[in-house]
Amino acid sequence: MASLGKLLEKIVDWFAALAVVVMTLLVFFQVANRYMIGWIVPWTEEVSRILFIWITFVGAYLALKSKSHIAVSTLFDRFTPANKEKISNTLMFLVFYFIGYLFWLSLKVIPATVGTTTPVLEISYLYIHLSFPIFMGLMLIHLCGRIFHMGWRRLAFSCLASMVLLAAVYLIFGIKPFSGPVLVVVSLACTGILIAFSMPIVFALGIGCAIFLVLFKDYPHQIMHTRMVGGIDSFPLLAVPFFILAGELLNIGGVTARLVALAKVFVGSIRGGLGMVTVLGEYFFSGISGSTVADVSAIGSIMVPALKKAGYKPEETVSIVSAASAMGMLVPPSIPAVVLGGITGMSVGALFVGGFLPAIVIALCIMALIYIQAVRSKIPLEKRLPFKEAMKAVAGAIIPLLCPVIIFAGILTGVATPTEIAVVAVLYAFIVGVFVYKEIKWSQIVPILRGTAVTTGSVMLLVGVASALSWILSTNQVPNIVGTAITGISDSPLIFLLLCNLCFIILGAVLEGVPAMLILVPIFLPFVDKMGINQIHFGILVIACLGIGIFLPPIGMGMFIACNFAQIDVGKMFRSFTPYLFVFLVGLFIITYFPWFTTVLVDVFFPTK
């Protein structure tokens, strides 16, 4: 049995890796045919989208196995080990019920897909929707294995506790008919409680949606399945796995160290220069990776030891890395920008361009604080690099910096879409890492591809579940209710943006960036146009606020990752991070009330007709 499990594990890993490779080659084939040969091959986009859906669900399954789905453990960590185990086991049963619910829904939907076909290749939709029950089934099998390893007493307690919780919710709210908005509040409250007790956010949101559909009874349950698949099935969102893969290849391929060396050439000899190198290096690397986690991991692993050696306190190093990485979320390419464009229809290219100057404004604020603190702490000056070493660093960074040049040249000239240019970045990163720098070994390729599938699955399953939640919110007039409440406070666009900033920072700290965006943007966006606020400006503010939220003490998830590298307790960095939080808020205030920083380049490269 164990050997069969290992064989299945290998098959799934290779399937995930192969699917990522085939999807990458198909999109590159599409671009190459259009510009090199002059042919347009319409079926490549359709097949790529089908593969993307399969990658999402296989990645979600692998993320469940490796416990990679995003969860918030701040409250959970306060419990004793015995209570933690009881809570975890009970929540595992709730996740088991939810995945079983999705599996049941998929079996109900599958028969309806047999007779319908895709528009280009006329492939039966059955082959698209089959990914849902297959990997939900594998999730159920995996959870069954974990459940039966609990021991019978723990199993019986957790099963009973989970059933009592669900029965209580149904008896209180399911027998007497309540209005849709009331049941939305109940569902969101249940979601919030589950998140607080460290259930992965995607499952907590999904259970909240399922609770609403069970309690309200007026909507067919199949809407959960169709909205999830529909939310994922988007060609622009294919840029997400491509930017994740490109960033991973460049990071492992030795690019980060070369970009840090370049940053030293510019600011290394200034007082506090090594801290500024962290900010500038983050700006360079964010322009390649697109992922905040990749940014913290890459920059943190190099700069935290260097900062400590230069005399910075451990908590100070974490604060600098955290502030720099929070700023880096604005630097294009940005995965939140890709997701935001995918769910709203905003131009991803315009969001990329709009993030350039706001990121510089915030970076300058952070660097000014680093200089002031370095003077106060009497941090010694770093020696200026000799001319030959400086030129060597500049020359070494040319190849890495060509990657963002390719990305933006392609997008701004209209040669390719962000998705298509992202796949070009993947191939460029692969060639640089494997053949130019030779730092990526062939044995690392499959784990890199598998990791891309895992990250894609955890992000895109969130997008799918959030699509179902967004539908529930909109059909129950929640955006109008919230908007009326906000405009009741003030109808000023400036006050509206201030309230939006606060909401996104707070929810971004609680839920992490993408989940918070997926929940709040559909609520606030209808009022952006009504108040005459530029959509791209609003989108950039959303991303900036989420950057703050991810590193906001005491629960920001990015902060925990940064503390890991410095090997310090999270509580120790609260005080040192406060000045960085303040200057970041100053920068946010500037870009909020001076939209010119966002719109000036957008108006140049994406003029409205």
Give yes or no for residue 566 having a pLDDT over 70.
Answer: no
Give yes or no for residue 444 having a pLDDT over 80.
Answer: yes
Q: Residue 104: its pLDDT value, please?
A: 95
Give yes or no for residue 545 having a pLDDT over 60.
Answer: yes
109/220 Cα distance (integer angstroms): 11
Task: Taking residues 27-32, report their average pLDDT.
Answer: 86
Under a CB-based contact definition with an 8 Å cutoff, are residues 296 and 267 in contact? no
Q: Residue 459: its pLDDT value, please?
A: 85
**pLDDT tens, position by position, 301-312:** 777 777 777 777
Q: Residue 336: its pLDDT value, please?
A: 87
- Give the least confident one: 195-204, 216-225, 328-337, 475-484: 475-484
Q: Residue 490: its pLDDT value, please?
A: 76
- Is the bond preceding residue 493 a cis peptide, omega within 30 degrees? no
What is the residue-averaged pLDDT of the chain?
85
Under a CB-based contact definition with an 8 Å cutoff, are residues 262 and 255 in contact? no
The burial of 221, by beta-carbon neighbours within 10 Å (0-12 exposed, 13-18 middle, 19 or more buried), is given as middle
Most confident of 92-101, 242-251, 366-375: 92-101
- Give the least confident one: 51-60, 172-181, 503-512: 503-512
- Helix, strand, or coil (residue 497): helix
390, HSE (Cβ side, Cα atoms, 13 Å): 11
Q: Residue 570: its pLDDT value, please?
A: 64
Q: Residue 305: its pLDDT value, please?
A: 77
Tokens representing 95 are 């996740």
Annotated domain spans of the chain? 2-233, 237-380+403-605
Percent of the chain whose predicted confidence (pLDDT) is above 90: 31
Q: Tokens 């990015």 belong to which residue?
A: 558
Give yes or no for residue 532 having a pLDDT over 80.
Answer: yes
Residue type, 112: A
Most confident of 164-168, 386-390, 464-468, 482-486: 164-168
Give yes or no for residue 316 having a pLDDT over 60.
Answer: yes
160, HSE (Cβ side, Cα atoms, 13 Å): 6
- Give the least confident one: 117-131, 159-173, 456-470, 500-514: 500-514
Q: Residue 522: its pLDDT value, please?
A: 85
Q: Tokens 């690392």 belong to which residue?
A: 444
Give yes or no for residue 103 having a pLDDT over 80.
Answer: yes
Task: Taking residues 399-422, report their average pLDDT.
Answer: 81
Task: Taking residues 477-494, report their average pLDDT.
Answer: 79
Give yes or no for residue 609 having a pLDDT over 60.
Answer: no
**pLDDT tens, position by position, 135-157:** 999 999 999 989 988 888 889 99
Task: Taking residues 504-533, report their average pLDDT.
Answer: 83
Q: Residue 567: its pLDDT value, please?
A: 67
**pLDDT tens, position by position, 392-404:** 888 888 888 888 7
Measured CA to CA in angstroms, residue 526 lies from 70, 153, 205, 476, 481 at distances of 28, 51, 22, 15, 12
The burial of 395, by beta-carbon neighbours within 10 Å (0-12 exposed, 13-18 middle, 19 or more buried), is given as exposed
Strands (E) in 427-516, as ranges, are none
Percent of the chain whose predicted confidence (pLDDT) is above 70: 94
Task: Taking residues 88-92, report their average pLDDT.
Answer: 93
Q: Residue 2: its pLDDT value, please?
A: 63
The enclosing H or E element of 59 equals: helix 43-65
**pLDDT tens, position by position, 238-269:** 888 998 888 888 878 877 778 788 888 887 77
Confidence of residue 605 (pLDDT cuts 50, 70, 90): confident
Q: Residue 297: its pLDDT value, please?
A: 66
576, HSE (Cβ side, Cα atoms, 13 Å): 23
pTM: 0.87
457/71 Cα distance (integer angstroms): 15
Q: Residue 517: its pLDDT value, please?
A: 85
- Helix, strand, or coil (residue 87): helix
CA 92 to chain centre: 24
